[in-house]
Structure formats: C-alpha cells, structure tokens
A and B are shown apart, each in its own frame.
Chain A
Amino acid sequence: MTRVVLTKPDIDRALTRIAHEIVESQRGRFGLIFLGIPTRGVHLARRLARLVADIEPQDVQVGTLDVTMYRDDLATQSTRATVATEIPASGVDGSTVILVDDVLFSGRTARAALDAITALGRPDVVRFAVLVDRGHRELPIRADFVGKNLPTSTSERVNVSIAEVDDLDEVSIA
C-alpha cells in the first residue's frame, strides 16, 4: 500500500524553510556552493540555490557531486553507472558547500560524499540538507537541514518524486 506523505505544496514549503535556515546560518557570509547528489539531489540543489538567491541576493553556485566511486559497498554490489561531477570553475576551496540529497537513510551516501568533497579541495564548511530523513542511521552522521522527519520501518520504501525527473513532486511510503 502506498501512502503519500508530502505533496507538492508540502515540498515547496519545506524547501522554502530550508532556504531560510541556510541564509540564517550563513550570517551574511557569501560563497555558497550547492552540490547535489545524483539524481534527485541535483534538482533539489538547483531549487534551493534559486530560493536562497531570492531571499538574499547573492552569487550562488550549483554543482553535481557523484559519489559512486567512494561508496563502501562497491565490492558487494553490481557495478553502478557513474555520473559526471561538475563543480564551479573556481573550485570549492574556502567556500561553504551545502550537500543536497533527497533521502537520508543509512548515512553511507553522505559519508561517501564527504570523501568525494575532500578529493576536490577544502571547503571552509560543509553542511548537509535533505528533503526526507527516514532514520535508521548506520554511521554517526546527521543532516543540518531536514525537510521532513519520516519515522519508517526498514522494510518500507520511501519514494521521492521530483518534477524535473518524475513529472510530479511527491513523497510516498510503500
């Protein structure tokens, strides 16, 4: 049975709130880079970047961070396709990087992402924004900005649909 937990207006409101929280946490410091984790994190990163720039006019950059090669389950899983990593030409050194993903679950993707960022350079600060935190962490990792905390059981599936990829905005549990 599928249960819708976030509709489009819910998602819009959550992203708007996160954008405000990011602006607040920046306290006037600029040099934000949003790095989305493919696939849906990239689109969420673009939306957040737009929202932040609307709240406080500033030069916000967006990129894509592929973490595939940094995963800790490569030897046990079948080969995953890689995606191009795209970072601003100026690099990440000295910036504030906001990592963006759709769902935070075990924390293993976030760990891989932190390693991937280290290979790109040395940002001043790295923060982590997710649309949904569904719990069941396997590593000591938490998100700084959360759209919605969703208590789930491990057997449930959380499906995030994003209009840019799936033609609608929706989060459901199955």
Chain B
Amino acid sequence: MKHLISARGLEAAPTVAILDTTMDMVDVRTREVKKLPTLRGKTVANVFFEDSTRTRLSFEAAALALSADVTTFTTQGSSVSKGESLKDTLQTLEAMGADFIVLRHPHSGVASTVVNSGWVDAHIINAGDGTHEHPTQALLDAFTMRSRLRGENARGSDLAGISVVIVGDIFHSRVARSNALLLRTLGATVTLAAPQTLLPREIDSWGAAVVSTLDEAIDLQPDVVMTLRVQKERMTSGFFPSESEFAQLWGMNDSRLRRLPPTSIVMHPGPMNRGLEISGSVADSPQSTVTEQVANGVAVRMAVLYTLMGDSR
C-alpha cells in the first residue's frame, strides 16, 4: 500500500495489521523516550485546504513521534489566494522534499485525483476530502472500539459480532462513510440512524441497515453509538426544522445513554456541538471515548505512516 485514500479499498487482514501496529505505537507513547527513529530524514507535508484542529495536529504529532520533519501548509496566507493550482502547490511541496503528503481538501475525490494524476511521487494520505472519505478517522475509530470492547484480546482480532449505530448528519459526513465501509470490512454490523434529509442518495451501497429514529437504534442495544457533528458550514438549505428538534430526536442524551448496556460506548469524532448531537454530560461520561479517540488518533497515524513507508510502488 503506497497511499491511503479510501476505506473502500482496504482489506481486512492489512487493516487488522495496522490496528496491531497501532497498539505498539500506543505503547511507545508510554515510554521514557516517546519517539521512534523510523522516519528520520523523511518529510511529511500537511497540506490543508480546509480548517482542521485535531487532524492536522494529530498528523503533526504522529510524524514528529516517528522523527520525520514536518512542514505544514494551510491556504490562509498562501499563494492559493493568488490562484496557484493544486498541482503546482503539490509539486512545489515535493520539490522541497516532501515524502508524504497529508491532504485535506473541501472537494470530494481530490485525493484520488492526485494519486491518479501522477503529479507527485510522494505517498498521499487522505485526511478528509469534502463529504467523501476520512480513512484515518475510520481506522482510529475501529481501533478505539477494538481496544475498549475486546480489551486484553484485542491484538489480531477484527470487529466481528460488534454492532455499531452511526447517528446524525450522515449526508455531509466523510467520517460516516469511511466508518461504514471499514466497519463492514472488519465484520461489524452497522446501522445508520438519520432523518431522511441527512441520508446520502447512494446509501444502499454502504451495506448498512437504516432506521428512522435514534430510539429505534437504541432498542437494538448496540455496542457502539457513534454520534456525528452536525456540519452547519456545509448546510446550504434547511435539512431539519430546528436545532432543538434535532437534539430531541437525534441527540445522544442521558436518558438514551441509560437505555444502553453499561458496556456500550459513545463516540464522537469531534469537534462536538454540545447540546446538539451529543449532550455535555454524555460527552463527559465514562462511556464516552471522545478524548481516547484523540489520543488513539496519533498512534493510528503513526501506524499508517509506518505502513506506507515500506511500499514505494
């Protein structure tokens, strides 16, 4: 694997291998020296055409933990405002020595366009392209589920038998798409819960069941409830009547949490709209994995960088 563009192309065995490597990376983070020399002399360029806090910082931390050099490019204050094309921007970064390009872009499909175009030789990692995919988020979510639910027996295992409900703004969510695809590959059962207006048209190809209320989904007693951020910045028309109605029908709150088994977990990829898709008290409850997801994100991205580096084809 030279690039990581989509969860769609990932097979089960190499995915489990990445999750296992992630365990070893988590272990490194607990050592006296929290750094590995693995990517010494390599440069990771973070290229962000869209705002991000945790993904960019997470990739940065991962690259630094593997001793890579890091350059960060954001559109603000760059020549993009002068009309420089994506191709020229990427080729400029590669000319400056980038071996890995971590790319976030507001347009769906940009990452695979870059790989297919042959513009650059660097490894390309998709860090979110529009409403399409965000594969490292899916990997870190799978890792978080596996370590929480499998505990001691996590190593080597997939997610067979684990039931996951993904709820909320699925239409705009690359996190939901990547997760649904990856979770299915790993053997988990996925149920989507969203208002009709927030379901994408090609939902049938995801291989997931769809229910029409969160309460119905809670009745399934899932192992995982994954809440999604309501993406106000992408909402150009009215997708639901009001925020309070959304929170009431689709928000993860205390009473819904109480109806879940005590071993179930509640996830959120962040940033959270507290009080909208997830209530503050659920987000801060012991069943919430929000901060764990952030911590695991660094380790997963270390594992991805490591896995890609060995393959230059």
- Interface residues of chain A, those whose CB is within 8 Å of chain B, are 66, 69-70, 74-75, 77-85, 91, 115, 118-121
Contacts and interface: CB of A to CB of B under 8 A. Distances in A.
Contacts of B238: none
B310 A84 contact: no
B284 interface: no
Contacts of B38: 69-70, 74
Contacts of B311: 78-79
18 contacts: A69-B36, A70-B38, A74-B309, A77-B310, A79-B308, A79-B309, A81-B20, A81-B21, A83-B24, A84-B23, A84-B24, A85-B27, A91-B32, A115-B37, A119-B28, A119-B31, A119-B32, A121-B32
A111 to B, nearest CB: 11
Contact of B24 (A66, A91, A119): A66
B148 interface: no
Given A70-B37, A74-B38, 15 more contacts: A66-B24, A69-B28, A69-B36, A69-B38, A74-B310, A78-B310, A79-B311, A82-B20, A82-B21, A84-B27, A84-B155, A85-B27, A91-B32, A119-B28, A119-B32
A150 to B, nearest CB: 30
A120 B36 CA distance: 11
A146 B307 CA distance: 35
A70 B36 contact: yes
Contacts of B17: 81
A82 B24 contact: yes
A85 to B, nearest CB: 6
A119 B310 contact: no
B33 interface: yes
Interface residues on B, range: 20 to 34
Nearest to B41: A75
A72 B242 CA distance: 58
Interface string B271-313: 0000000000000000000000000000000000011111100
Contacts, number: 53
A79 B307 contact: yes
A43 to B, nearest CB: 18
Q: Closest 7 interchain pairs by CB?
A: A79-B310, A119-B33, A82-B24, A69-B36, A69-B38, A78-B310, A82-B21
Interface of B: 17, 20-21, 23-24, 27-28, 31-33, 35-38, 42, 155, 306-311
Nearest to B14: A79
A82 B35 CA distance: 15
A120 B31 contact: yes
A80 B24 CA distance: 13
Contacts of B37: 69-70, 115
A78 B310 CA distance: 4
Given A81-B17, A81-B21, A84-B27, A118 B33 contact: yes
Contacts of A83: 24
B310 A80 contact: yes
A82 B310 CA distance: 13
B153 to A, nearest CB: 13
Contacts of A91: 32
B1 to A, nearest CB: 8
A166 B21 CA distance: 25
Nearest to A72: B37
Contacts of A70: 36-38
A78 B308 CA distance: 9
A77 B38 CA distance: 13
A36 B306 CA distance: 23
A2 B217 CA distance: 62
B310 A120 contact: no
A66 B20 CA distance: 13
A84 B306 CA distance: 15
A66 B23 CA distance: 13
A77 B23 CA distance: 22
Q: Which of A66, A119, A121 has the most CB of B within 10 A?
A: A119
Contacts of A82: 20-21, 24, 306
A169 B24 CA distance: 30
B110 to A, nearest CB: 26
B18 to A, nearest CB: 10
A82 B42 CA distance: 20
Contacts of A115: 37
A81 B23 CA distance: 12
For B21, B35, B309, the residue with the greatest tally of chain A CB atoms inside 10 Å of its CB is B21
